[in-house]
Amino acid sequence: MKIIKYIFGIILLSSTSAFGQMYIIDFDSSPAGNISAGDEVTNQYSAWGVNFEYVQSSTSRPGLKLWAFDSGANQNGIDDDLETPGDGTVGSGNTASDWANNNYIFGNTQGADNVLIIQEQNNNTTPDDDSRGGIMNIIFDTAVTFNDIGILDIDDLGGDRPNSFIRFFDDLDVQIGTGYLIAELGNNSYQEVHFETFEVRRAEIEFGGSGAITGLKFTAQVPEPSTYGVIGAFFLSGLIYFRRRKLR
């Protein structure tokens, strides 16, 4: 019995020596190659265990797609709201306390190159985000820790227009906690939101109107290669032990 406890104790200790592999998705390059403006973004990151899909919301249109938009070139001036870096005035009314209370960093001061948008209806040539919004689904093959996301151009819609949210779901597709209300910082605004939310299998970004995500970070828990060897060795030791006892 002591040897059994010893074996399983070593296995448990070994399995906890896992490291987190962090991935950064920027919509410029992927394991499948470079991404260009106008490319539909779906499974380019499947080698990292991530896929993207569009889902219709209560206010958006059916059958839309997720496209890459070159915010640096501004797609020949098609949408100034999605230009990065911006003119520096957006978010100037926010203070450090806003960041502390809402967990976001504001200010469109860095170039983001490609960003991910919900492509405008019936526009199959020039990338432009749809004004009625919709849902971006980020689906993970295995549970991950969702770290950060950059969000661009969340307008202050006012009135009865819908808000924008980020929601996380677990392995059973049950929502984790409450939805995060995305701050409406105005045209051409940028916010970087930090989460550290664990056991995420799906992230849902719902835009009430126009908007884009500039990138995201997540951490996948990957056992160290040595862990497999240790587990295998002690499992084999256990088999030998039980076989010897049987032969006695």
Which tens digits make up the pLDDT trace of 16-63? Answer: 334 689 999 999 999 999 999 999 999 999 999 999 999 999 989 999
Position 212 confidence tier, pLDDT thresholds 50, 70, 90: very high
Position 108 confidence tier, pLDDT thresholds 50, 70, 90: confident
Q: Strand locations in the chain, DSSP E?
A: 18-25, 29-30, 33-34, 50-55, 66-70, 104-106, 114-118, 134-152, 165-169, 180-181, 190-207, 212-223
Amino acid occupying residue 60: S
Cα 189 to Cα 113: distance, rounded to the nearest angstrom: 15
pTM attached to this predicted model? 0.78
Higher pLDDT, 139 or 121: 139
Look at residues 175, 156, 173 and name the one whose alpha carbon lies nearest to residue 164: 156
The two three-digit tokens of residue 169, written as one number? 């779901």
Which tens digits make up the pLDDT trace of 163-210? Answer: 899 999 999 999 999 999 998 888 888 889 999 999 999 999 999 998
* CB contact at 8 A, 183 and 154: yes
State whether residue 130 is helix, strand or coil: coil
Question: What residues does 180 pair with on adjacent strands?
Answer: 166
> Residue 88 above 70 pLDDT?
no
* Long-range CB contact pairs, 175-180, < 8 A, 24+: 176/200
Question: Which residues lie below 8 Å from residue 202, measured CB to CB, with a gap of 6+?
Answer: 137, 138, 139, 140, 168, 169, 173
Q: What is the mean pLDDT of residues 105-124?
A: 85
Which tens digits make up the pLDDT trace of 62-79? Answer: 999 999 999 887 655 667
| Burial (Cβ within 10 Å: 0-12, 13-18, ≥19) of residue 160 | exposed
* CB contact at 8 A, 70 and 127: yes
Q: What is the pLDDT of residue 170?
A: 98
